[in-house]
Amino acid sequence: MQKKEITFTLNGKKVWVEVKPYEKLLDVLRDKLGVKSPKYGCGRGECGACSVLLDGKAIRSCIVYAIEVDGHDVITVEGLQANGLTDLQKSFLAHNSFQCGFCAPGMIIQATELLNENPHPDEEEIREYIAGNLCRCTGYNPIVEAIMDVAKKK
Amino acid sequence: MKELELKYVGHEAVRLDGLEKITGTAKYVDDIDLGPATLYVSILRSPYAHAIIKKIDTSKAEALDGVYAVVTGKDFPYRYGLYLKDNYVFPLDRVRYVGQHVAAVVAATQEIADEAVKLIEIEYEPLPVIQDPLVAIKEDAPLIHPDLGNYEVVPWLYPQPGTNIAHVRKIRKGNVEEAFKEADFILEDWYVVPHVVHAPIETHVSAALYTPDGRLTMWNSSQSPHTQRNIIARSFKMKHKDIRVIAPYVGGGFGGKAGVNMEVVAAACALKVPGHPVKIRYTRKEEFYDTSMRQELHAYIKMGVKKDGTIVALKHQLYWDVGASAEYGSNVVNATGFSAIGPYRIPNVWIDSFAIYTNRPPCGAYRGFGYSEFHFGLESHMDRVAKALGMDPVEFRKKNAIQEGDTVAYGVEMGPTGILKCIDEVAKAIEWGKPSEPPKEPHKVRAKGFAAVWKAPAMPANESSAAFIKFSEDGSINILVSGMELGQGFLTAMAKIAAEELSLPLEKIRVELPDTDRNPYEWQTVASHVTWSCGNAVRRAAIDAREQILDVISRAYYIEKSNLYLEDGKVKCYTKPDFEVPFESFVIDGVQMPDGTYRGGPILGRGSFMPEFTSAKVNPETGQGGHPNVHYTTGAGAVEIEIDTETGRIRVLRMAEAFDAGKAINPDIVKQQITGGFVQGLGTALWEEVKFAEDGRILNPNFTDYKIPTALDVPREMHPIIVEVPQPDGPFGARGIAEHTMIPVMPAVANAVENALGVRIKNPPVTAEKIIKALKEKTV
């Protein structure tokens, strides 16, 4: 199958990478570019563990083809914290928001998009916004509370 | 127990693994790159639930360019298992469930491996498929394991060759038949709890490298690194020292990553391609089909009571569908057989717990270890009996609640328990007895439901834990253990236990994840027992290190050891207020004496723990005579629900759960265990069920068709409550609570449904469909 070199901005830096037309963004990020925070959980866009920001929007990188991001901007947790922990990360840390931690990067991406779009969401808006990010450990409340704390302080 | 002034244990703290996890730097197995020599694996799976394998032809696959190896049963004709060696590395002559791995291809790229798998030709002869344990247990049922009599098994399990029964645990206490005659009221009924899956967000991942010097290194997403090493060494006939299992963070376990399952496939593949690492990351669909799931239970309960609400007799028969393998699940059957009286004082008990093979995927450990399933029926029954007697269900439970000194089903005395306090606290938090606020819409109804529970760790009598504590030049320590951080806060709990004994701030403590080459032994991180068992080992290691520290300072400064104590990383003296020797000055370098010589040497604490009072030796016909469990943790839970009678949809408005943790090492993390476990239980109460087609295929092997709770489904009001009646042999009095937290949910929801609508659902999940159907039947 024909390979194609694509170029896009990853966490503020331009990257060049050769991809096959059927390769998913998640696999290219993890296996070819060494960015490991997005996780494989389902491969069908159902769990949100692979979420990254594409041009500022949270997307499921397991169902986006890598060639689709040619020329675009991708941010993962590695990029969010380039200048130190974000307020959201600090709040997640203080609330002990995660247990196994596997959903954490995707959850942080999703919550980052939420607060960018709506700096003062109420509890129900937060729950609605993260309802596509599955967590099997926490029961979600420590995650919701951490996001609410940041929203209140903004 | 003496009241101790505790500085770390029982206080809030930021999790030790917090920073790694919120920065995305926490490494899980799939995050480890194994280099350019890595090869790729594709697995061929059985399309049949039950069939004879007549012929496997791998020649075309082997001939494909880029294929390094094709692995089948003939390469590794081994059986393995934790308790009963009934599972095959790869099947030899028959497949027993749809999706069973039959062959694997190792190739240069994933594409080649996927292509080669299609070239493997297998001739099957289909056999009758059995999916119902009540059919499988019949005398004329086709046998799923005709060789059952030849399988190696631990001495306390009793497979029945010539049947589909992998084990039966019996309890006979008192005389139930006589007691039923004297009972004023008897209720008998059946309850069915279906298969559900663990659904950790991280699927199973295993990487393996076999090098020509004879070493096998594995990186596994695992609750059981040492047990995996043990099982793999024994089944592949290797030496333990030649196998190294490294276990980085686990992205959710819930019992599904206990023992061994797909790791044997990775090991087999690696052994065929020396020098090349292989990594297998299961897809979500593979996770459903070929790891393990929770057993299905068909339970018959007959309970006899006196008019005053005293339970006089219980007959509880548990028919467990263990799927195609009972290598681990046989112990679920065993453990629940010993404990199916629930947290109650019952003088006359008859329990039969059967492990029954079917042509469904192998089942095994799942958070709760069978207790969620049997408590569903038992706690539903408790409500029904209470109502028949005209008693309040909470009062009925309190009247019969087991107390310290009462005998449990196998005749041993119950230890200290806070069950009454748990029941009271939950009743208070949920405002039991106070009617629910009327809902805004007329087609909605509200009600509350209650359940009480208990659970013991289910373990071999000689399970054990060990710990090393190493000091560094700056007085900081690394704790080496092989318990696993699954998210439950294990690392933080171990750090606090050591911090307390060594009077060392948490910032100076790291706890290392397991590596069987470097870290000492741990049986497994299961059974909600590591805080207790590994915590005891860490505590002993810390005390050992402290004694070494005090010895050195005593010898170097000529001070009686009894006058020395530790405070904030320094050695101090009761009789000399100014005396102060910081750890960093001597824990590696020693203390220099006036003549220039040194005293001491690197401080290295060692601790190990094994309960020495347990025994699995019991009379197989009565279950009496041994001491199979170390202790029981008790608790209670309640929900308030709202049902939409037009759609059948249930919302849980609020919940309360209380557990007797003995001593909460990390109170905030314990509370999060309670709410997190509740929500996992909520999924099984309302939606979760693996659906099978008649041919054995799974109809919902993904998160679209198999729903787990989201942030929207969670009650907005949650009351997690900690009760502390100390466990005498626990570290600082602690005992486990992690699994227990999901046990009350299914029965509490079903009880609330009956209180709301007057209909009794006896087969969770309590779906909207079942509610509507029950309402229609009621009005007909």
B10-21 pLDDT, tens digit per residue, is 999 999 999 999
The DSSP secondary structure of B425-443, one letter per residue, reads HHHHHTTTTSPPPPPSSTT
- Provide the pLDDT for residue A2: 87
Task: Pick A46's closest partner by Cβ from B249, B675, B704.
Answer: B704
Tokens representing B515? 């590596």
- The answer to whether residue B3 scores a pLDDT higher than 60 is no
With beta carbons less than 8 A apart as the criterion, state whether B379 and B691 touch: no
Task: Pick A101's closest partner by Cβ from B17, B33, B672.
Answer: B17
Tokens representing A115? 């607060």
What residue spans of B487-620 are helical by DSSP H?
Answer: 490-502, 530-557
CA distance B485 to chain A (A): 8
Across the interface, whether the CB atoms of A47 and B31 are under 8 A apart is answered: no
With beta carbons less than 8 A apart as the criterion, state whether B401 and B345 touch: yes
Task: Pick B31's closest partner by Cβ from A36, A98, A144.
Answer: A36
Task: Pick A40's closest partner by Cβ from B20, B23, B30.
Answer: B30
Tokens representing B205? 């991942």
Tokens representing B138? 């019949």
CA distance A67 to chain B (A): 19
Q: Check whether the bond before B765 is cis (ω within 30° of 0).
A: yes
Amino acid in the structure at residue A22: Y
Across the interface, whether the CB atoms of B489 and A139 are under 8 A apart is answered: no
Amino acid in the structure at residue B360: R
- With contacts defined as CB-CB under 8 Å, which chain B residues touch A130? 711
- Provide the pLDDT for residue B256: 98
- With contacts defined as CB-CB under 8 Å, which chain B residues touch A34? 33
The DSSP secondary structure of B134-170, one letter per residue, reads HHHTSTTSPPS-TTGGGS-B-TT---BTTTTEEEEEE
Please name which of B212, B257, B529 lies closest in space to residue B366, comparing C-alpha atoms: B257
Q: Quick one: closest CA in A to B738, which residue?
A: A137
Percent of chain B with pLDDT over 70: 99
Q: Quick one: closest CA in A to B673, which residue?
A: A138
Q: Which residues of B420-437 are buried (b: 16+ CB within 10 A; e: fewer)?
A: bbbbbbbbebbebeeebe
- Provide the pLDDT for residue B2: 45
CA distance B740 to chain A (A): 14
- The whole-number average pLDDT for the span B401-419 is 98
- The answer to whether residue B1 scores a pLDDT higher than 60 is no
Task: Pick B676's closest partner by Cβ from A46, A94, A139.
Answer: A139
Report how far apart, in Å, the C-alpha atoms of B317 and of each of A37, B359, B385, B452 are.
48, 22, 18, 20
Instruction: DSSP letter for B613, please.
Output: S
With beta carbons less than 8 A apart as the criterion, state whether B85 and B265 touch: no
Give the number of other Cβ atoms within 10 Å of residue B152's Cβ: 12
Grouped pLDDT means (10 residues each) for chain A, 154 residues: 93 98 97 98 98 98 98 98 97 98 98 98 98 98 98 88
Tokens representing B321? 């569908």
- With contacts defined as CB-CB under 8 Å, which chain B residues touch A137? 252, 487, 676
Amino acid in the structure at residue B632: Y
Q: Tens digits of per-residue pLDDT, B614-666?
A: 999 999 999 999 999 999 999 999 999 999 999 999 999 999 999 999 999 99
Report ipTM for this prediction: 0.98
- B179's enclosing H/E stretch is helix B176-182
Residue A141 in contact with partner chain B when CB distance is under 8 A: yes
- With contacts defined as CB-CB under 8 Å, which chain B residues touch A131? 710-712
Q: Which residues of A117-146 are buried (b: 16+ CB within 10 A; e: fewer)?
A: eeeebeeeebbebbbbbbbbbbbbbbbbeb
Q: Tens digits of per-residue pLDDT, B254-280?
A: 999 999 999 999 999 999 999 999 999
Give the number of other Cβ atoms within 10 Å of residue A3's Cβ: 12
Please name which of B636, B186, B187 lies closest in space to residue B394, comparing C-alpha atoms: B636
Task: Pick A101's closest partner by Cβ from B249, B254, B676.
Answer: B249
- Provide the pLDDT for residue A1: 64
Please state the φ and ψ torsions of residue B95, each to the nearest 5 degrees. -105, 150
Contacts 24+ apart (CB under 8 A), A119-128: A119/A151, A119/A154, A120/A151, A120/A152, A120/A154, A121/A147, A121/A151, A123/A148, A123/B716, A126/A151, A126/B711, A127/B711, A127/B712, A127/B714, A128/B712
- A110's enclosing H/E stretch is helix A104-117
Please name which of B561, B603, B579, B601 lies closest in space to residue B475, comparing C-alpha atoms: B603
Name residue, tokens 């065993």: B334
With beta carbons less than 8 A apart as the criterion, state whether A44 and B703 touch: yes
Q: Strands B87-88 and B79-80: what pairing? A: antiparallel
- With contacts defined as CB-CB under 8 Å, which chain B residues touch A92? 22
CA distance A7 to chain B (A): 23
Geometric angle at alpha carbon B465, from B461 and B469, rounded to 5° = 165
- How far apart CA B173 and CA B364 sit, in angstroms, is 28
Q: Quick one: closest CA in A to B675, which residue?
A: A139
B291, B51, B297, B619 alpha-carbon torsion, rounded to 10°:
-90
Percent of chain B with pLDDT over 90: 99
The DSSP secondary structure of B678-714, one letter per residue, reads HHHHHHHHHT----B-TTS-BS--STTTS----TTSS
Mean pLDDT of chain B: 97
Q: Quick one: closest CA in B to A142, which residue?
A: B672
pLDDT confidence tier of residue B46, bands split at 50, 70 and 90 = very high
Q: Which residues have C-beta within 8 Å of that of residue B745, sequence separation ≥ 6? A: B372, B451, B637, B639, B678, B681, B682, B684, B685
Q: Quick one: closest CA in B to A101, which residue?
A: B21
- The whole-number average pLDDT for the span B434-451 is 97
Q: Tens digits of per-residue pLDDT, B101-136?
A: 999 999 999 999 999 999 999 999 999 999 999 999
Tokens representing B583? 């750890």
Q: Quick one: closest CA in A to B202, which residue?
A: A41
Please state the φ and ψ torsions of residue B470, each to the nearest 5 degrees. -110, 130
Q: Tens digits of per-residue pLDDT, B161-213?
A: 999 999 999 999 999 999 999 999 999 999 999 999 999 999 999 999 999 99
Instruction: DSSP letter for B395, please.
Output: H
3-state secondary structure B35-78: CCCCEEEEEEECCCCCEEEEEEECHHHHHCCCEEEEEECCCCCC
pTM check: above 0.95: yes
| Helices and strands (H and E) in chain A: how many | 6, 5
SS3 B675: helix
Q: Tens digits of per-residue pLDDT, B131-165?
A: 999 999 999 999 999 999 999 999 999 999 999 99
Angle, helix B490-502 to helix B530-557, in steps of 10 degrees = 30
Q: Quick one: closest CA in A to B705, which residue?
A: A46
pLDDT confidence tier of residue B780, bands split at 50, 70 and 90 = low
Please state the φ and ψ torsions of residue B270, each to the nearest 5 degrees. -60, -40
Count of CB contacts below 8 A, A vs B? 156
Please name which of B724, B720, B723, B735 lies closest in space to residue B674, comparing C-alpha atoms: B720
Residues in chain A: 154
Report how far apart, in Å, the C-alpha atoms of B602 and of each of B62, B448, B477, B552, B573 are.
55, 59, 11, 11, 22
The DSSP secondary structure of B461-521, one letter per residue, reads TT--EEEEEEE-TTS-EEEE-----SSSSHHHHHHHHHHHHHT--GGGEEEEPPBTTTS--
Q: Tens digits of per-residue pLDDT, B724-760?
A: 999 999 999 999 999 999 999 999 999 999 999 999 9
Integer Rg of chain A from CA: 15
Tokens representing B627? 């001491």
Q: Quick one: closest CA in A to B683, which residue?
A: A136
With beta carbons less than 8 A apart as the criterion, state whether B408 and B344 touch: no
- Provide the pLDDT for residue B4: 59
Please name which of B510, B522, B531 lies closest in space to residue B223, comparing C-alpha atoms: B522
- With contacts defined as CB-CB under 8 Å, which chain A residues touch B20? 101
Integer Rg of chain B from CA: 27
SS3 B739: coil
Across the interface, whether the CB atoms of B703 and A44 are under 8 A apart is answered: yes
CA distance A70 to chain B (A): 24
Across the interface, whether the CB atoms of A96 and B672 are under 8 A apart is answered: yes
- How far apart CA B18 and CA B30 sit, in angstroms, is 20
With beta carbons less than 8 A apart as the criterion, state whether A110 and A129 touch: yes
Q: Which residues of B16-41 are buried (b: 16+ CB within 10 A; e: fewer)?
A: bbbeebbbbebebbbbeebeeeebbb
Which of 51-80 (A) contact B at CB < 8 A? 76-78
- With contacts defined as CB-CB under 8 Å, which chain A residues touch B24? 36-37, 76-78, 104-105, 108
Q: Tens digits of per-residue pLDDT, A16-53?
A: 999 999 999 999 999 999 999 999 999 999 999 999 99
- With contacts defined as CB-CB under 8 Å, which chain B residues touch A22? none
Please name which of B480, B487, B669, B484 lies closest in space to residue B20, comparing C-alpha atoms: B487
